A and B are shown apart, each in its own frame.
Chain A
Amino acid sequence: DAGVIQSPRHEVTEMGQEVTLRCKPISGHNSLFWYRQTMMRGLELLIYFNNNVPIDDSGMPEDRFSAKMPNASFSTLKIQPSEPRDSAVYFCASSFDRGLGGYTFGSGTRLTVV
């Protein structure tokens, strides 16, 4: 298996632009998580899906952030409009069986908003 695949690896965008981050979970995993990592706040859970259904989005910072999972093999995290404070590494992770085998993280997307 190729693992969790995220794209793009790096994204530099101007303030106010729309940004879309993509994630392909491991086949057969039924839970998907979006985390954001910064030096100040560490790894923050933004939203998670179970069987393609959003279960908890209480970590989404504000309405500028949205996430979708249209099918079991694809998820997106969208920021519109982007702001410099959104600069961070965004990780997608997937798991099976409520995470009893641990989460597998993607390589992350490093987002820089200038």
Chain B
Amino acid sequence: QQPVQSPQAVILREGEDAVINCSSSKALYSVHWYRQKHGEAPVFLMILLKGGEQKGHDKISASFNEKKQQSSLYLTASQLSYSGTYFCGTEGGDDKIIFGKGTRLHILP
């Protein structure tokens, strides 16, 4: 069961904020977030574990609502380097991550 990400694409100006949502139809143990730039491999951003938590580093943070089986990624004061495709990956206690289809983020100067 592939998680559903929204929106599919976002265009922002530098300095604006963005929220990317991820929802699953099954119970989750953890949620991963990755960023992939064109022609490159996905790069791990953070993991949120069951129990409900928030995490963040720099101006990128995320929350995990276990009861709603949802996670959100928050990008504040976006920078040009934040451009790329963001993937959430969900893990339901079976040690394998299923990725959503991704959210394309484009930052304009």
The listed residue (B47, B99, B101, B102) touching A100 by CB distance below 8 A is B47
Residues of B in contact (CB 8 Å), total 24
Q: Which residues does chain A contribute within 8 Å of B58, judged by CB atoms?
A: none
Decide: A103 near B100, CB < 8 A? Known: A48-B95, A50-B95, A56-B94: no
Chain B residues close to A by CB (< 8 Å): 2, 30, 32, 34, 40-47, 49, 87, 91, 94-102
| Shortest distance from the beta carbon of B57 to any chain A beta carbon, whole Å | 13
* Inter-chain contact A107/B96, CB cutoff 8 Å: no
Q: Specify which chain B residues have a CB less than 8 angstroms from the CB of A43 in the assembled complex.
A: 42, 87, 99, 102
Residue interface mask A83-96, B partner, CB < 8 A = 1: 00000000100000
- Contacts between chains A and B (CB distance < 8 A), count: 58
Interface band, chain A: 20 to 34
Given contacts A100-B47, A102-B47, A103-B32, contact A108 B98 (CB under 8 A): no
CB-CB nearest in chain B for A41? B101
Q: Could you give 18 example pairs across A and B, Cβ below 8 Å? A: A31-B95, A33-B96, A35-B99, A42-B101, A45-B97, A45-B98, A48-B95, A48-B96, A50-B95, A56-B96, A99-B32, A100-B47, A102-B45, A103-B44, A103-B97, A105-B41, A105-B42, A107-B40
